[in-house]
A and B are shown apart, each in its own frame.
Chain A
Amino acid sequence: MMMRSMSTPRGCPRGASPRFLLMGCAWLYLSGCSMFVKENRRFLNKTDEWIRPESTAAKVTLVPLTVPLATGVLATDLAIVHPACSLRPAWDDVYDLYWKPREMDWLRKSIMIPVITALTPPTYLVDLTGRILFPIESES
């Protein structure tokens, strides 16, 4: 009973969290997770270069060790490396969208500045989240 009450958040129906997690995974899978693209798995690609057992026996023996290790590396890619690498492209998107110098008269510019200043943080966050989750290539 104690375990059950601890594992289920208050106000959340029992079994909802795994269901949401599963739905989230399915949604990511169907829409193409960013980690499906080799270029976005920077750390894992590096470990591919570092860890290369040659014999089949070594490959098989190492699997119990490398599966959790590689999963951790992929999680690092997803949670740290890829988001960190997406900061700049996300900013470039926001810059292209709002801040890129355009031919506009002084009055319009002054009207637009507060609007785009207000819109910049949410746009940046949405773009960054999109880039972290999905394989979005930057134009550059």
Chain B
Amino acid sequence: MIRERLQLRVRVLSRGLCALAPALLLAGCAFLNRANTPTLNLVEENLWPETTAKRAVVFPLVFPISVAALATDAVIIHPISVIDDSARDTRDALWDDLDWNASYMTESVALPWRTVGTPVIFVSDLLLRSLFDVRENVDKARRREREEQILEILDQIEDLIDRERAGEAFDLLRAKEMEINRFWYQTLGRDEEMGSRHSSLWLEAAYRGGRYEQLFASSNPYRPLMNRKSLTERGLGVLAEMRTAPSPTVRWAAFLIEASSEMDPHMLGDLVREALRDANPVLRHEVLGWIESQTLWSRVESIENDL
């Protein structure tokens, strides 16, 4: 009885494996990618001769070693190497967006499900990553690595500003601007928090480092992207400081940032009135010019709508 059951199980298992093998090959088996077979690569580098004659001679010896190496890769090396990726995937899927402060009860409901789901997702993900060459996840991992590098740069800049070396922070931002922007475009600007932090650091470094003229020069393409919405709390604090700064250029820059934000018409009215009461006549003149350009734009828009 037991023997029959065992035989049946072996039959089912072997059929399953036979069905799985072509599926694995067709769907992009993990071992078709050289990066996933380090042991086989070692065998290839050290035991596989360059000339065909030598290859023919050593083939009977190298073939079983290669199969053993591939099996080691498949069963031990590759699964071990993707454990951290699977753990990260599980964390991202189940444990990443917890908010115990604002939604304690909701998180409490989800806690048992998350706990039960953790081993299930982890094992499924590990199996998937072990068997298939998950390219998308490789890209994702690279992107995450890149994101960590960018965050490190931003931390460095913030640290420089905190140590009252804002000028250096500004120079570092300029040097790394291309790198940060490339990442930003690659991720299609999905990480808003990072974007806000970047904008706020630009503003703070420019203001505290006395480089605001460079930042707000019309030749700087970064300037128009700034508004209240694109700033963090810290950035908004800097903006508030800028509005009462002694330099009219800084006050003008703060006005432009505030005015380019989508805001309530009453608030915008208050902002414009306050700017028109500024002590500096040039700034008042600029504000009038700004009002004129806005009126002109709204006229152009209404004409376009009419057309």
Is chain A's interface secondary structure helix, strand, loop, or mixed overall?
Answer: helix
A48 close to B102 (CB less than 8 A): yes
Is chain B's interface secondary structure helix, strand, loop, or mixed overall?
Answer: helix
B18: Cβ under 8 A from any A Cβ: no
Residues of A within 8 A of B102 (CB): 48, 52
Q: CB-CB contacts of B91-105 with A at 8 A, as 1s and 0s?
A: 000000000111111
Residues of chain B at interface, number, CB under 8 A: 11
- Distance (Å) between the CB of B111 and the closest chain A CB? 6
A71→B107 CA distance, assembly (Å): 10
A73→B102 CA distance, assembly (Å): 17
Closest chain B residue to A46, Cβ basis: B105
A115: Cβ under 8 A from any B Cβ: no
A63→B105 CA distance, assembly (Å): 9
B104 close to A59 (CB less than 8 A): yes
A128: Cβ under 8 A from any B Cβ: no
| Partner pick for B109 among A38, A44, A51, CB 8 A cutoff | A44
A22→B122 CA distance, assembly (Å): 19
Closest chain A residue to B103, Cβ basis: A48
Closest chain B residue to A58, Cβ basis: B104
B111 close to A52 (CB less than 8 A): no
B108: Cβ under 8 A from any A Cβ: yes
A41→B106 CA distance, assembly (Å): 9
Closest chain B residue to A67, Cβ basis: B108
Closest chain B residue to A77, Cβ basis: B109
| Partner pick for B104 among A41, A66, A71, A74, CB 8 A cutoff | A66
Closest 10 CB pairs of A and B: A70-B108, A66-B108, A70-B109, A70-B105, A47-B105, A48-B103, A74-B109, A48-B105, A67-B108, A71-B109
Residues in chain A within 8 A of chain B (CB atoms)? 38, 41, 44-45, 47-48, 51-53, 59, 63, 66-67, 69-71, 73-74
